[in-house]
Amino acid sequence: MSAAADMDACRAAIRTGSLSFHAASKLLPAHVRDPALVLYAFCRLADDAVDEGHNPVEAVLHLQDRLDRAYADRPQDAAIDRAFARMIARHQMPRALPDALLEGLAWDAEGRRFSTLSGVRDYAARVAAVVGAMMCVLMGVRDRHRLARACDLGLAMQLTNIARDIGEDARRGRIYLPLDWFTESGISPQAFLRDPQPLPEISAMTARLLAEADRLYQRAEPGISALPLSCRPGIFAARTIYGGIGGVIRAQGCDSITRRAVTSRGRKLGWLAASGLRAGASIVLPQMATLYARAQPECDFLVRAATQETESFSRSETLITALARLRAHDMKSRGLDRRSA
């Protein structure tokens, strides 16, 4: 297959699997848009395999093999993997970044829950902030300050996703809200999973999560204004679209149990137009001092990886441990299958 055909496959995957990113990507310059589409297609395929596949443990272990092969320039014979391997080589993508995504998906496969908001941010760093860091690499941005703000944006977008999907996740037996919030509210997480209802306490948690997302969106904005000029409209668009989703959730009374926040094509077009105006205004507005704020502690490892402060690659201990647990689980499941055959 040709590189062009592989790229067409990535575009098709994003067109059907990630409407918000597909809309925002239209405002990126071509030299960033195409590798970004490859990155999102690979991440989307990996996420769907874990979320919607019959065996999420096997999906994560398969993803590890796919990453190994892509970084060895021997990608799996699939369009997205071939395009991903080319993107890695062309942009010198640090291996620790997609490995962080792998760890986040391993946590999903384990059904991990998070005791505190910091724990939720730990998870969001791996499944979303890491994408912000990788996008910076694609733009040629590798300084700590702009990387930290890109990670803030990724965290905010993931918290918005969690707020939007509370009911859908609960019906799958998943909780991403901090467990200590349930304790404070006097609600049993197990009882909520058995019968997800739009309780006032759950709506209050949703509003609280969206408030944290808003804090992070505001921290992210100086970083967007400091990106290469041609990249600003697309990233402002992503920020505006996801922030708008939060607004829809609030307008629905923070009920993500019986309703799902849906944004119309017309509304997205309006947000895209507004993003272009904001990008233009960023040329003349003074730079905000918050550009230089420290990275969120949960994201500092991503910033260090993207700036290549670590000279050689080695898998993190937490990822090694998570993969070992998944392999043990997979081997046990296969053993049980053989005994029952």
What is the token pair recorded at 329? 């689980």
Which conformational region is residue 295 in: left (phi greater than 0), alpha (psi within -120 to 50 degrees), or beta? beta
Residue with tokens 């930290």: 148
Cα 27 → chain centroid = 20
Determine the pLDDT at residue 144. 96
User: Are the beta carbons of 25 and 67 closer than 8 angstroms?
Assistant: no
Query: Whole-angstrom Cα distance, residue 276 to residue 240?
Result: 11
Mean pLDDT of the chain: 89
Give the per-residue pLDDT at 341. 40
What backbone phi and psi angles, to 5 degrees, belong to 72?
-90, 5
The domains of the chain, with CATH numbers, are 3-340 (1.10.600.10)
Query: How far apart are alpha carbons 226 and 303 in whole angstroms?
Result: 16
With bands split at pLDDT 50, 70 and 90, how would you rate the model's confidence at 339? very low
Token pair in block for residue 318: 């937490």
pLDDT above 90 coverage of the chain, percent: 68
pLDDT at 293 over 50: yes
What sign has the CA pseudo-torsion 131, 135, 141, 145? Answer: negative
HSE-up of residue 310 (Cα within 13 Å, Cβ side): 16
Q: Is the pLDDT of residue 314 over 70?
A: no
CA 259 to chain CA centroid, nearest Å: 22
Q: Which residues of 86-108 are buried (b: 16+ CB within 10 A; e: fewer)?
A: bbbeeeebbbbbbbbbbbbbbbb
Q: Which residues contact 151 (CB under 8 A, 6 or more apart)?
A: 125, 129, 130, 132, 133, 295, 296, 299, 302, 303
Which pLDDT band holds residue 330 (cuts at 50, 70, 90)? Answer: confident
Q: Which two tokens stand for residue 279?
A: 């990008």
What pLDDT score was predicted for residue 269?
A: 64
Please, which pLDDT band fits residue 17 given cuts at 50, 70 and 90?
Answer: low
**φ, ψ of residue 89 in degrees (nearest 5):** -65, -40
pLDDT tens digit string along 300-310? Answer: 999 999 998 65
pLDDT of 333 strictly over 80: no
What is the structure's pLDDT at 338? 45
Q: What is the pTM of this model?
A: 0.90
Q: Residues 109-129: pLDDT tens digits?
A: 999 999 999 999 999 999 999
Higher-pLDDT residue of 193 and 286 is 193
